[in-house]
Structure 1
Amino acid sequence: MEANPRRPEGASPPRVALAVTVAAVAIAGGAWYFWPAPEAAAPPPAVATVAPPVPEPAKPPHYPVPAPEAPEPRKPLPALDASDAALAQSLSGVFGARSFAQFFRPESLVRRIVATVDNLPRRSYAQRLSPVAPVGGLLVTEGKEEGLTLAPGNAARYSAWVKFVEAVDVKRVVAAYVHFYPLFQQAYVELGYPDGYFNNRLVQVIDHLLEAPVVQGPVKLVVRRVLPEFADPALESESAGRKILLRIGPENAAIVKAKLRALRKELMEKTPAA
């Protein structure tokens, strides 16, 4: 069967958004102090029915980002609106200047990263807000009508991305993340989460992507509203991030997931659950 190029799917590998996100800054955790309450006089005995204590609802995991340990004084972080140059310089050092220029959009980088990470577990996300450039080329399919499938050659479109992801040093990425974390936290609050904590969201998103389904064999497609969609309703109902992992092919997805696991492990060592 000849491979049939289709319109661009408008999605970029989620790992890149996460890799960059892992370049944020530190927020120091505070300490809570408890004072014993003054003893009250014992009340007279009374016959009463004491209601059993109501257990507190379980709290979700919290992953506080520690303050970075700086051996020498460092320049203060720039304001969020003026942070592009500083973050671009840092990420160019982490990923390499050529790779950063090739794969990333440097404008409003912190806000783009935060918005994309937050949206990856949702049904869709705005490509215009992505921190990374879209993958080139067209979606490659095989067959027609009921026999339409995602061509194995479609995975080749992501080769450059996957090689980039595979080469990422997660220790350096997380170190940059800890340094810049306050800017990411500020952007997350501004996104509409005044009580939210971005590092918690990042860990949730990584876990969500790691649970993406794996399809062995041809992935069947169907054309609806002009563009191809997954024929399996269960796959089509998956999140934007998981669908990206499906499109890039099982071998590429395995490489991305391995890097995500390494990233999560490093995050847990630097930001253990409290």
Structure 2
Amino acid sequence: MTDETNSKSIKPHIILAVIVICVVVIGFFTLSGGDDPEEIPEPKIEAPIPDPIVDVIEQQEIDEYAVEDESESMDEAPDVVDMPPPEPIPEPIDTSDAAVKTSVIGLADYEAAARLLVNDDLLRRFVVMTENAANRTIATNHQVIVPPEQKFRVYEQSDKSFIDAASFKRYTPYVDTLDSMETESLISLYEVYKPAIKDIYAEIGDPDEDFTFVLMDAINHLLDTPEVPVPIEVETDSVMYKFADDRLESLSSVQKQLLRTGPENMRRIKAKLREVKDALQ
């Protein structure tokens, strides 16, 4: 058995759409309050200016009457009700690519996470990738994660080609990143950015449809990917590699991409998918 480094890829799918769906690349942002409300000063009551013409006796009677009247007014004054301060207005969510990427990287406990994400149009890419995955396709021009640097590899045995285990290992850093993210935190990210996602989806899909249903369809479709033991045989048509098993080759593009991550990676990805699915329900 000999190893062979092959420059032909199975297909330029480039990235794992399943990880895009799991990670829910939508940036983490903590809502903060606006400026404190200004204090309203209490109105000042000007004291009456005494008339200089009034004599001492009349002035004394006026003063006594004023004191007596003030005492009665104080007894009859209504209770002062303290009004609660107005609620601070939250600052708008920062949907810039820099904020989204920085927040997602901060969520992952994996040092290579920064190198795995693209730098532009992250929210729109996520929506397009998820919508395509729900429709059993892959949006190759809207990848959210950069492609693996290593080439796809096969080995030959008995005049047949099989996927080399090194090809599976190319995806391990992606899966490690996914595993390092807490499911509860992923759902929190999704809920915070759901209004922005809804607006984007309204432009490319059904504006009356809840994007969560689209996300669930994509997850369910990926979970339906069959388990396949190794070695996995492939064939080449001089352009790309295909699965030798017609049953596998007839799967959707996104399911075949999941298969190409290898049995162990697929097991870990599916476990995270189930956690996300349960949390969304």
Same fold at TM > 0.5 = yes
The residue that corresponds to 2:15 in the other structure is 12
Q: For 1:119-164, what per-residue CA distance to the aligned partner results, in whole angstroms no more than 9, with x for missing partners?
A: 2244542322111101121111111795111122321111211211
Shift in Å at residue 227 of structure 1? 0.7
**CA distance in 2 between partners of 1:149 and 1:173 (Å):** 36
Structure 2: how far apart are the matches of 1:100 and 1:139?
22
Q: Which amino acid aligns with 2:108?
A: F
State the distance in 2 between where 1:108 and 1:164 align: 20
Secondary structure, in 3 states, of the residue corresponding to 2:233?
A: strand
Could you tell me which residue of structure 2 aligns to residue 142 of structure 1? 155
- Equivalent position of 2:265 in the other structure: 252
Q: Which residue of 2 aligns with 1:83?
A: 96
Q: How many residues align?
A: 220
SS at match of 1:129: coil
Cα pair 1:21 1:114 within 8 Å, conserved: no
- Counterpart of 1:132 in structure 2 is 145
Structure 2 CA distance for aligned equivalents of residues 127 and 84 of structure 1: 20
- 3-state SS of 2:218 partner: helix
SS at match of 1:128: coil
- Equivalence for 1:228: 241
Per-residue Cα deviation, 1:97-131 (whole angstroms, up to 9, x for no partner): 95442111131111100111122244542322111
CA distance in 2, matches of 1:100, 1:142: 30
1:82-231 paired onto structure 2 within 5 Å: 83-95=96-108, 98-122=111-135, 124-143=137-156, 147-231=160-244
Cα contact 2:117–2:145 (8 A) shared by 1: yes
Secondary structure of the 2:278 match is: helix
For 1:144 and 1:74, the matched residues in 2 are separated by 63
- 8 Å CA contact retained: 2:243, 2:249: yes
Partner of 1:21: 24
- The answer to whether the 8 Å contact 1:146/1:222 transfers is no
Give the alignment's TM-score, normalised by structure 2: 0.70
Inter-partner Cα distance in structure 2 for 1:72 and 1:20: 31
Q: How does 1:39-50 map to 2 (within 5 A)?
A: none
RMSD of aligned C-alpha atoms? Answer: 2.5
Letter in 2 for 1:266: A
Kept in 2, the 8 Å contact 1:15–1:165? The answer is: no
Query: Could you tell me the TM-score, scaled by structure 1's length?
Result: 0.72
Give the unaligned 5+ runs of structure 2: 29-86
* Distance change >3 Å, CA 121–CA 2, structure 1 → 2: farther
Contact 1:122 1:240 in 2 (8 A): no
Instruction: Pick closer, same or farther for the CA change 1:163–1:97 going to 2, 3 Å.
Output: closer
Give yes or no for contact 2:134–2:215 (8 Å, CA) kept in 1. no
Structure 2 residue aligned with 1:74: 90
Contact 1:23 / 1:178 at 8 angstroms: preserved in 2? Answer: no
Determine the C-alpha separation between the residues in 2 that align with 1:180 and 1:167. 21
SS at match of 1:143: strand
Deviation at 1:195, TM superposition (A): 2.6
Aligned 8 A contact 1:105 1:133 in 2? yes
How far apart in 1 are the matches of 2:257 and 2:149?
Answer: 14
Q: Could you tell me how far apart the structure 1 residues matched to 2:216 and 2:136 are?
A: 19
Paired with 1:205 and 1:183, the residues of 2 have a C-alpha distance of: 19
> Structure 1: any 5+ residue segments left out of the alignment?
26-70, 269-274
Structure 1 equivalent of residue 275 of structure 2 = 262
Give CA-to-partner distance per residue, 1:223-244, whole Å, 9 cap, x none. Answer: 1251111112221121122111
Q: Which amino acid aligns with 2:4?
A: N
